Structure 1
């Protein structure tokens, strides 16, 4: 994010780049030369007239105050990490059907070579695992446009290769959108992920795409539907891939399906089914033998424990959740990707609130923030939790909690 202490030219450059405009495109839009824009951004030329500042702000779809360094208060959800222009761009990307381009009145899009797309998708996964949700969300705008075109006109690969990349893009989109509070868009992206996976040649991609659909259903309050889907696909997948003799990747996807089914059961108040699914996932993790990250699942013995604790939080058993957390090997936890660890700390903050240990809840939130700041700054559930901690703190909140509250706009 651009700093309020930066020169105005740097803020202009920040928003121009965030909008995906070159200096030439921006110059054309405001009726200036590219040289003029370059001098403004480098601070060689000053912006003194408010009329010019408002003209630049309009072209960048921001408030003039943002160019002047007066950033508006953050809002939870997508509004806290992305602005409405970017939200609408993602929505439009999900609603477009580039594969029908020959039937639509639209300018043709040159296909991106599949090896280049593969690199871009890998970068998006890496950014997601580090918890850089704003970066991921903005990169999705381009990927959601490019992968359907590549499937229709593959360069450097096959249509099936492009479809397999496309399902991954939709899966990333679904997961990030769900975290940022956009359940309907998350469901749309997940549904597209299933469809794309079936056009590829990798059945495990269809399996992991199922978890995205189920998670979106969970976010929409459809707990039983999410549970049924996860369990049915898990059983079908492991039967087709060889049972206990399946590959580590297949066992990981199977285990991920069981874990998400367990979470759906917990959210629906079905503690018995949740526990049974967690036990089955634990047996799968034992076969695997160690924590791994096949198909970006982070599946293994440690992640099963994290989900067992998270399920207990959903069931209102905060003390039991914290007992599991206290028994987790810290080195093994540290080996998991940042997103998974930060998510767990957020769950444990909720557990602390359930037990009335508000000080420890603040420490857990701070741990999540140090691990992956966007897990706290961008997620509505984190903002709500900070608000609870503020109202239940005895006396003034700790400096760390107050800092987080200021960051997310939770302080009145």
Structure 2
């Protein structure tokens, strides 16, 4: 018998409600229900021990050995034994060879010119004879290279700005992300990471820790877009550690959401579900008012997408409905814009991709028709919506509509369309799967995709 089934039978035999068991274990009734039905995997030792203690079950009944010693406590958290953690995917950084037959010398020259263009876009003075024309297909590579160097402390020491100036610089970087201005972000975001580390080293201030954590979260979101899992994992974990040092429950929860996204992309679906749903039910988040409730909705939504990737359509829809209910309870407005936004509209956006991955593109198309692109909170969200709609058309075999939607995404956010690996992959698939048009070939050339 699975642990969840045993817990449900024991709870019912004792005449205990979901809410009562939740109170004893520290979880909500909804989370207890998810554990019982197997939606949330019960693989964490601490979770199993909580339920065994609450239901007066012997540890062996839920697959645990009797505790040999008291668990170690670090920073107020119980630390138990863990199994071997899956390895990260092989690194994609640092290769010096060309791709698709491209000349590596030409590639380095393009990156050098692009760096000058990026600095000019962000208002950073550089020595030289002006900015070269940006090759937007390489913007993602430039961003990854610069973020890697900043995170590893490589390159020249930064000029340390005043602590008062840094929040405004972060606001500019966030605006660049929301507007899909990759060239400008390639300068601002690495510079913020370097400056943030310099300031936290000089001044042990919780506000500085929190701002650097937010900077790392923004870097994580960018690295997830660019399919750079190793650097993304490092950035998200640094954000979590900094947020815990600052005792900022919202940033801790958002760090967990990003870690869950990365775990899902690495194929660790059970870990992704556990990370997201455990964070959603954390008491600190439930005490954080409306922003905390919105973040809980984002975490539940992330778990829903993980179930979709595993083909669990019913589980995905159940959690998506739970996220939608949270959004409605919050009044329908958009909260947490700096994390992409949470509202009934963004939940609808999430359903497009989730239904696609759960294997129902017709439901994805219906979800797409229910949202207004203009009402989405940023260019980045609208670009994502168009990308998800293009995938839907591709899965339905509607090539012309797919290309038309990709061209609309390019007009809206050219740098994102040209640099994002997922979009390049879709364009490449279109090139080899059927007849091509002049519009598709042009888009492929601008995105650096070779036919």
- The answer for the alignment partner of 1:177 in structure 2 is 223
Q: Please tell me whether the aligned partners of residues 217 and 236 of structure 2 are also in contact (alpha carbons under 8 angstroms).
A: yes
- The answer for the alignment partner of 1:49 in structure 2 is none
- The answer for the alignment partner of 2:57 in structure 1 is none
Q: 2:245 aligns with which of 199, 206, 215?
A: 199
Task: State the 1:346 CA deviation.
Answer: 0.7
Aligned 1:61-140 pairs, distance under 5 A: 80-83=138-141, 87-96=144-153, 111-140=160-189
- Give, in whole Å, the separation in 1 of the partners of 2:305 and 2:112: 44
- Give, in whole Å, the separation in 2 of the partners of 1:342 and 1:15: 24
Whose helix proportion is higher, 1 or 2?
A: 1
Task: State the 1:111 CA deviation.
Answer: 4.0
- The answer for the alignment partner of 1:287 in structure 2 is 329
Aligned 1:7-406 pairs, distance under 5 A: 16=116, 18=118, 26=127, 41=129, 80-83=138-141, 87-96=144-153, 111-154=160-203, 159-237=205-283, 240-241=286-287, 247-294=289-336, 296-297=338-339, 298-332=341-375, 335-394=376-435, 396-397=436-437, 399-406=438-445
Task: State the 1:312 CA deviation.
Answer: 0.8
Q: Please tell me whether the aligned partners of residues 255 and 285 of structure 1 are also in contact (alpha carbons under 8 angstroms).
A: yes
- Give, in whole Å, the separation in 2 of the partners of 1:330 and 1:171: 25
Structure 1: runs of 5 or more not aligned: 1-10, 27-36, 43-65, 98-105
Cα offsets for 1:345-383 (capped at 9, x unmatched): 111111111111111111221222222223311111101
- Change beyond 3 A, Cα 1:107–1:358: closer
- Change beyond 3 A, Cα 1:15–1:281: closer
Task: State the 1:186 CA deviation.
Answer: 0.8
- Give, in whole Å, the separation in 1 of the partners of 2:337 and 2:248: 11
- Give, in whole Å, the separation in 2 of the partners of 1:161 and 1:147: 11
- Change beyond 3 A, Cα 1:374–1:364: same
Cα offsets for 1:270-301 (capped at 9, x unmatched): 22322221111011000112231425231000
Q: State the SS of the aligned residue for 1:115.
A: coil
- Give, in whole Å, the separation in 2 of the partners of 1:300 and 1:144: 30
Task: State the 1:211 CA deviation.
Answer: 1.4
Q: State the SS of the aligned residue for 1:199.
A: helix
Q: Please tell me whether the aligned partners of residues 253 and 295 of structure 1 are also in contact (alpha carbons under 8 angstroms).
A: no
TM-score (norm 1): 0.74
- Change beyond 3 A, Cα 1:13–1:308: closer
Q: Please tell me whether the aligned partners of residues 263 and 311 of structure 1 are also in contact (alpha carbons under 8 angstroms).
A: yes
Task: State the 1:146 CA deviation.
Answer: 0.9
- Give, in whole Å, the separation in 2 of the partners of 1:111 and 1:410: 40
TM-score (norm 2): 0.68
Cα offsets for 1:171-193 (capped at 9, x unmatched): 11111111112111111101111
